[in-house]
Amino acid sequence: MAISKMINIVGVHAEGEVGDVIVGGVLDVPGKTMFDKMMHFWTKGDELHAGFIIMESEEYAPMSGSNTICTTTALLETGMIKMEEPVTTFNLDTAAGLVTVTADCKDGKCKAVAFDNVPSFVFGLDYEVDVPGLGKIPVDIAWGGMLYALVDVSYTGLEIKPENAAKLVECGERIKKAVQAKYDPIHPENPGIHGVSIIVLTGPLEDDIDGGKKAINTVVVSPGRLDRSPCGTGTCARMAQLHARGLLAEGQTFRHISVTGTEFLCKIRGTTKVGDLPAVLPTVKGRAWITGFQQVSLDAEDPFPVGYRVGDMWHTPS
Ligand SMILES: O=C(O)[C@H]1NCC[C@@H]1O
């Protein structure tokens, strides 16, 4: 989609003098006071860096890969960030830290987005959890921008296929509760981030073309759905786990495949440490498409101003 700028305006006039009031479509302007903000426009122009906060159904996620790709595509294709062809690079600020995005752009379209995620690392491998119905199974716990438990899908007795989605979700939520009851990992640099909130069910690791590796996976997002994408933060946790197990080397490509058959192309671009823990620097590349422009409103008389839950697809609230 080739829209070079999209700003939301409420058109108003006061005694005949028009004042178009901009109410959306402009990024936050740096500066403590309104004077500082005005001077920022005067001196630096209105090209701004963006930040975003991720709202999942049940939590605010510090970082999200699919949402990073969606946000980058929306910012570029609506002109909120100026698109440069063939490549546009900028930083996105997230609650997990700064993420650099590199977008391949052609004819006004953002074709693909690669993001350099925050350092990702393993808290521990082969923790044992007793999951009702599955028995004692090993799980790995890793950070990839969200805090994951990774479980070999074979322990569920299920294959990663769309027709198994409801059963995979149900197993994943059961595993999550068992992990949460026994372990409370704390991010070494931000104690505000702790506890496993999301599950990767991992498929077998296979050789890919050009010496790379590939695998299918599915991520169970609470309160109960499968990620339709290969899951960016889950992919980073998976790369940290594979690296810790000596199964994925720095620079080697990793093609991660989702339950819907879509793919992220990834690699570890280096290593580092987070606190005392060895960490990898993961890069993930994927694509996004704009599907619509919406305005959401709330009727002042709506009896459900903050929504409601019924325990069918959303399970019973705990
Ligand atoms: O790609 C990701 O990281 C996300 N997808 C949905 C759940 C995660 O936030």
Q: Which of 70, 231, 236, 266 is catalytic?
A: 231
> Please, are residues 161 and 259 in contact by the beta-carbon 8 Å criterion?
yes
- The whole-chain average pLDDT of the chain stands at 91
Residue 66: predicted pLDDT: 94
Q: Does ligand 1 lie within 6 Å of residue 120's CB atom?
A: no
- pLDDT category at 1 given cuts 50, 70, 90 is low
Length of the chain: 318
Q: In the prediction, which pLDDT does 3 show?
A: 74
- Tell me which of 54-63, 180-189, 245-254 is least confident: 54-63
Among protein residues, the one whose CA lies closest to atom 8 of ligand 1:
64
166 C-alpha to ligand 1 centroid (Å): 18
pLDDT of residue 292: 83
Could you tell me the pTM of the whole model?
0.91
Task: Check residue 62 and give its pLDDT.
Answer: 95
218-235 per-position pLDDT tens digit: 999 998 899 999 999 999
In a mutational test of the pocket of ligand 1, which residue from 53, 55, 56 has the highest number of ligand atoms less than 8 Å from its CB?
56
- CB of 218 within 6 A of ligand 1: the answer is no
Question: Rounded to an integer, what distance in angstroms lies between the CA atom of residue 27 and that of residue 23?
Answer: 11
Per-residue model confidence as pLDDT tens digits over 18-55 = 667 777 887 888 888 878 888 888 888 766 678 888 88
Based on the residue annotation, tell me whether 64 is a catalytic residue of this protein.
yes
- The yes-or-no verdict on residue 4 having pLDDT over 70 is yes
The full DSSP string for 52-109 is --EE-SSSEES--HHHHHHHHHHHHHTTSS---SSEEEEEEEETTEEEEEEEEEETTE
pLDDT tens column, 181-195: 999 999 999 999 999
User: What pLDDT was estimated at residue 12?
Assistant: 74
- Dump pLDDT digits (tens) for 84-126: 999 999 999 999 999 999 999 999 999 999 999 999 999 999 9
**Which domains does the chain show, CATH number per domain?**
21-116 (3.10.310.10), 120-286 (3.10.310.10)
* Backbone phi and psi for residue 263, each to the nearest 5 degrees, phi listed first: -135, 150
Contact 230, 236 (CB under 8 A): no
Using 50, 70 and 90 to split pLDDT, how confident is the model at 149? Answer: very high
Confidence category of residue 127, pLDDT binned at 50, 70, 90: very high
Q: Is the CB of 258 under 6 A from ligand 1?
A: no
Percent of the chain with pLDDT over 70: 95
